[in-house]
Copies of this chain bind each other. A is one copy, B any other.
């Protein structure tokens, strides 16, 4: 929401991510982005000489970094870090948004993938990179809880896959049911991956 501060360039990237996650890449126009960012339309060609493609790619990259950074913050907020607790927190970010602000937006990276994976190679690569940094953050968090490295990567992929899918279903149904379900069902499986220690 902090739109006013930061430079116009960063605001436009941020706004692009917001509009993309709401309407998809295709229907989101450059003029809309400038208006939403309260930035001059003329700045578009100045900051993004690569056109829409560049703007979309930067928005996707921004979203990937954002998601990755959230993981560390979730981890810090957990009193006792467990895989299920982390996943619950990741899911909660979405249920909270949906319950307080409505089901307007999904994941911008998923939106970019769905809209551009076949048509725009560079955007597909940006989305891949975003998923990669996100998965990396989650896997790192899991290994920090004692999960074996290979397993952590697999579980991170599982967590993000389930979350992404549940987001789509939740938006379609306008109901957080799917999000709650995946969180609840996956919890025990995730915690089972951390080796048992005596008590504590």
Name the residue of chain B whose CB is nearest to the CB of A102.
Answer: B118
Q: Interface segment, A4-12, A40-48, A79-87, A106-114? A: A106-114
Which residues of A, 61-99, contact B by the 8 Å Cβ criterion?
Answer: none
A128-B173, A158-B181, A173-B128 known; A27-B115 Cβ under 8 A: yes
* Contact A173–B26 (Cβ < 8 Å): no
Count of A residues near B, CB < 8 Å?
51
Question: Residues on A close to B: CB < 8 A?
Answer: 22-27, 103-106, 109-111, 113-119, 124, 127-128, 130-132, 154-155, 157-158, 160-166, 168-169, 171-174, 177-178, 181-182, 184-186, 189
Identify whether the interface residues of A are mostly helix, strand, loop, or mixed. Answer: helix
Known: A104-B118, A172-B131. A178 touches B165 (CB 8 A): no
- A189: which B residues are within 8 A, CB to CB? 185-186, 189
- Decide: B169 and A22 in contact? CB cutoff 8 A: no
The answer to whether A178 and B157 have CB atoms under 8 Å apart is: yes
With A124-B172, A182-B157, A185-B154 as contacts: A22 and B165 at CB distance below 8 Å: no
